Amino acid sequence: MDVLRSVDEIRRKVQIWKNEGYSVGFVPTMGYLHEGHKSLIEKAASENDKVIVSVFVNPKQFDNKTDLETYPSNIQGDKELVENAGGDVIFAPTTAEMYPNGFATLVDIEGLDKELCGATRTGHFRGVCTVVTKLFLIVAPDRAYFGEKDFQQLAIIKRFTKDLNIPVEIVGCPIVREENGLAMSSRNSKLSLEEKRKALIIIEALNVIKEMVYQGTVDAEELKKEAVRKISTIDIAKIDYFEIVDPDTLEKIDEVREKALAATAVFIGKTRLIDNMIIGE
């Protein structure tokens, strides 16, 4: 499994593939790959002739220095996972390669970045939009694959890709969960066994309100209150947000009359986890 470090190298590789008439799928990641990433790479491999996986911990999307410094990494493990999942090459640039001296351009989005994760993580989505735009321009893929766990990120990427006429198809892929229901995340590796057990309260709360909707509760405030109450029974859980929103606009809704998205971010100890679920289908 080749790991290419420079923009020139990956561009040359893609050019050769395109000259051969191959389609290119792309899975952008920050590394420390898990089964969730594997499912994205497998889907990309089933829909494209060649698959590139980028591994880059993007400093511009971290609003917390410690979070950036402690972000897990394991390039050897990533290489094995990419190979087993059917990927062809890893693009793992250095920070200097992506943001050389004098770098001064940022890609910003209006509106969609204000709620949910954007409300408390200042500048986070500007960092995501900037790096993903750069990666799209460098890799020039036909299709790019993102997990629905980061539902807001996916909505934002679809929006700016359309707004900026970037010729790439954005493919959203379902959340992959551990057997007990915990959404897969590279951050799960930061949890102790006890924290992992306690983190299950997140999926439990989402399941409870989904069931409440099924039983006829439509009032979003009531649903939210129940979810917050349930999560708060765990001593080390601190809710960053819990919202019920329209899945297309991400705007808060008052009543769950049709498809709605329950989305949450919860600190379990020091680790911030996100999860979401479509309720009221």
Binding region for ligand PAF (CB under 6 A): 28-30, 58, 61, 128, 131-132, 150, 153
Beta bridge partners of 1: none
Residue 74: partners with Cβ closer than 8 Å, 6 or more residues away: 31, 32
Residue 96: partners with Cβ closer than 8 Å, 6 or more residues away: none
Residue 222: partners with Cβ closer than 8 Å, 6 or more residues away: 212
Q: How far is the CB of 149 from ligand PAF (least distance, A)?
A: 9
Beta bridge partners of 43: none
**In the chain, what are the helix, strand and coil shares in percent, each to the nearest 5?**
45, 20, 35
Q: Which is nearer to ligand PAF, 147 or 280 (CB)?
A: 147
Q: How far is the CB of 82 from ligand PAF (least distance, A)?
A: 14
The yes-or-no answer on residue 124 being catalytic is no
Q: How far is the CB of 83 from ligand PAF (least distance, A)?
A: 20
Token pair of 57 as six digits: 């911990």
Q: Which is nearer to ligand PAF, 128 or 182 (CB)?
A: 128
Phi then psi dihedrals of residue 57, to 5 deg:
-85, 105
Handedness of CA 112, 116, 121, 125 (dihedral sign): negative
Q: Which is nearer to ligand PAF, 154 or 278 (CB)?
A: 154
Phi then psi dihedrals of residue 52, to 5 deg:
-110, 135
Q: Which is nearer to ligand PAF, 22 or 71 (CB)?
A: 71
Distance from C-alpha of 240 to C-alpha of 117, rounded to nearest angstrom: 8
Which residue in 37, 60, 124, 134 is the catalytic one?
Answer: 37
Q: How far is the CB of 148 from ligand PAF (least distance, A)?
A: 11
Distance from C-alpha of 200 to C-alpha of 189, rounded to nearest angstrom: 15
Q: How far is the CB of 146 from ligand PAF (least distance, A)?
A: 6
Distance from C-alpha of 97 to C-alpha of 6, rounded to nearest angstrom: 7
Q: Which is nearer to ligand PAF, 78 or 150 (CB)?
A: 150
H-helix or E-strand spanning residue 220 = helix 220-231
Active site (catalytic) residues: 37
